[in-house]
Amino acid sequence: MTQDDREKAALEPESSSTATTTPDPLTEPWSTPAKSESSQSVAAGEVLTSPAADDLREDIAALTAETTTSPSSPKAEVKPPNLSADQPKASSDQPYRPPLNQTPPVRPANRRVLPPAAAKTAEWRLAGWPLVILLLGLAVIGSCHYSALNFAESLNESFNQSPSAGSNQSSVGVVTLEGEIISSFGTIKALKRFEEDNNIIAVILRLDTPGGAVVPCQEIVEVMRTMSKPIVVSMGSVAASGGLYLAVAGDHIFANPGTFTGSIGVILETIELTGAMEKLGVKAEAITSGKFKDTGSPFRTMRAEEKELLQRVVLQVYEQFVAEVIKGRPNLTENQVRLLADGRIFSGEEALRLGLVDGLGGMDQALDKAVTLATGSFDSDNPPPMVYDDGRGGFWQRLLTSNQNFLRPSSLLPQSGLKFLYRPGL
């Protein structure tokens, strides 16, 4: 072997080894020959820069982003990686299409979105309509109530101008007074009507009341004192305190044996809420022009000097009651009246024995006595008719005003501090 042959033989292994260890990245991108540990570690750190490798990285990154999407965001459809470089990619400008099992929201075509200020104004307008309707309803009810009262008054004057209208026969007027006395208007109106009616020869005052406010009782008695026709009082179940105050102004008094009467005296009631207010954590303050201006306030304890002041007022009114009884019962002395005037009650039978009433009986006896006082005699076979009036007017007025206190709270009804009142069971 010549020297040239030996040199060629030495060069051939190197060329073949070089050829096998250098693959073409365009034709065989995924196949690499076996290398040593050093060469493999170097190859692991290499970055592939072929176009196919770049497409693969983009597909893998897109697939990873889709699989790691949050649960609240819509899930994108998972597609296999696209290794074709010439296929167009999805553009981010395309609209979002929900999955097939999700219905997209439908917006009405004619819906108008209001700005915030206009929307708030519209809400206030909608909320204000119920209040307007309520106020209009109250106004209509109030006007109807007022019109009903006026209509009842006019009908009563037209059709019932006099209790005995249309009859020339002599009659006896009966004024009924029942329940607690809080007003004198109806009773005074009935008494004056009977006084002005020429067909009424006498009046019977039928009492079934425990008394009531001081001033209405005094006003009724004042009218009774001025009447020229005889007045006979007939006591029902109860005619105590203010009821007895009215009775002694009559010309003759009848009571049933079981009638409750007496209770001569005055009462002034107050209430104190300080204990309840302390438990509730509520406090009340009053700014007054004088130290006695808020006397009797339920929001504080009454002072001793205030009790003395109220006691003097009560005793003054009590003296007025005693004086009226002495005036109406001339058969009793002042000392006898004062012995009875300690607030105790009496039965009708005991009241007759003590001189507080003139006789025992009901409406028949009262009618007999009233006619006798008016005419001097009484014909039991032909008694005069009785005309009743409780001060509430005629039929139409009663019908339209039976619930006249419906719109007035109880706090607006007539109230009184001092009372000629008997309250059993308290």
Instruction: Report pLDDT digits (tens) over 17-67.
Output: 444 455 554 444 444 444 444 444 444 445 545 566 666 667 677 666 655
Indicate whether 80 belongs to any domain. no
Indicate whether 77 belongs to any domain. no
- The residue with greater pLDDT, 332 or 399, is 332
Number of folded domains that form the chain: 1
Beta carbons of 258 and 277 less than 8 angstroms apart: no
Instruction: State the catalytic residues.
Output: 241, 293
Indicate whether 63 belongs to any domain. no
Indicate whether 308 belongs to any domain. yes
Indicate whether 19 belongs to any domain. no
Mean pLDDT of 335-360: 95
Predicted confidence at residue 135, as pLDDT, reads 81
Indicate whether 100 belongs to any domain. no
185-192, Cβ contacts within 8 angstroms, sequence gap of 24 or more:
185/391, 186/390, 186/391, 186/392, 187/220, 187/391, 188/219, 188/220, 188/223, 188/391, 189/391, 190/389, 190/390, 190/391, 191/220, 191/223, 191/224, 191/227, 192/223
Predicted confidence at residue 251, as pLDDT, reads 95
**pLDDT band at 123, cuts 50/70/90?**
low
Predicted confidence at residue 243, as pLDDT, reads 95
- The residue with greater pLDDT, 249 or 80, is 249
Single pTM value for the model: 0.60
Can you give the CATH number for the domain in which 234 is found? 3.90.226.10
Over 60: is that where the pLDDT of 76 sits? no
Domain housing 182: 143-156+169-421
Indicate whether 18 belongs to any domain. no
Over 80: is that where the pLDDT of 274 sits? yes
Indicate whether 4 belongs to any domain. no
